[in-house]
Amino acid sequence: MKRLIVVAAVVLVVVLIGAAVLVTRRSSSAPAAGPALPAADEFAPGVCRDAADTILALARVTRQTDVAAVSDADRAELRTLQTRIWELRTEATGAVLDSMTDVVLNLGYLRVRLDTRSAEPQYLEQAEAARARLEKTCLASSAR
């Protein structure tokens, strides 16, 4: 009987430690704060303003710090956002076109890796860097 109680206590301790690790890991995988996002109306008129909501929505996914925390819903949203930027890039020129193409390519790499469960944090970081460059390009275009 004593042996059964000891085994139960050990199992309970292991379960509690596992739960604590999971809770800690989930809380640390929340989206990184990053710099504050601009308002959509701060983007340059035209294709940048048309893409503003898409660019800002993309930040919610690409600013995550844990690729394992990217949900199926996030992956579906990435597909939708990538398609929207792809469609809008036909109206873009110059640096905006280059930045949109870079975002589409980086999202493609990220999505393939997420689908094959071989993604690493660098793919999220690269997609976020491309998104941030597009945001910066669109904001700089509005300052002219």
Domain boundaries defined on the chain = 1-30, 35-143
> Could you write out the DSSP letters of every residue in 21-62?
HHHHHHHHTSPP--SPPPPGGGSPTTHHHHHHHHHHHHHHHH
- Lowest mean pLDDT across 5-14, 75-84, 122-131: 5-14
Whole-angstrom distance, CA of residue 28 vs CA of residue 36 = 19
Q: What is the mean pLDDT of the chain?
A: 86
3-state SS assignment for residue 2: helix
For 53-66, how does the pLDDT look when each residue is reduced to its tens digit (9 = 90+)?
Answer: 999 999 999 998 89
Helix axes 72-88, 47-62, angle to 10 degrees: 160
Mean pLDDT of 43-71: 94
